[in-house]
Amino acid sequence: MKALVTTILLGFASFVFAGEGWPTDFEAAKKEAAEKGLPILADFSGSDWCKWCVRLDDEVFSQPEFKAYAKDHLILFLADFPSRTPQSDELKAQNEKLSAKYNVKGFPTVLLLNADGSVIARMGYASGGAEAYIELINKEVK
């Protein structure tokens, strides 16, 4: 019973970490990006096992400065590759296809994409917190 409770709590923590509800439908993200004229920030993450993914979320994506910036400047998309958190077969297939398409070799991989899905920039974890990451994004988008 204790193992079951631990598994449930880890799964919940992974769900909360995993982009805090970031959209996971890539086609919908592309459509929204086209409608709003904004780039997509695609986070390829191992939310429940990758220490650098967790650090990126803790230091950047979960920070109020980043959330405020993203609201007006980005379309967020999460391609998650968890080891303990269940996913639908469709979501797994989509994420695997995208990982192959974009040649994702490690986690985290963060891509800035145009609405058509073409790559603007390839990033990953960077130290310095939310403000430094926002500066990095702004340099790449210009």
* β-strand pairing of 119-123 with 75-80: unpaired
How far, in Å, CA of 22 to CA of 42, rounded? 10
CB 45 within 8 A of CB 78: yes
Phi, psi (degrees; rounded to nearest 5) at 12 = -65, -45
Domain annotation for the chain: domains and CATH numbers: 2-141 (3.40.30.10)
- Residues 83-119: tens digit of each pLDDT: 999 999 999 999 999 999 999 999 999 999 999 999 9
CA 93, 102, 29, 132 dihedral sign is positive
- Mean of per-residue pLDDT scores for the chain: 90
Here the tokens at position 80 are 């998650």
Q: In the structure, what pLDDT confidence band is assigned to residue 142 with cuts at 50, 70 and 90?
A: confident
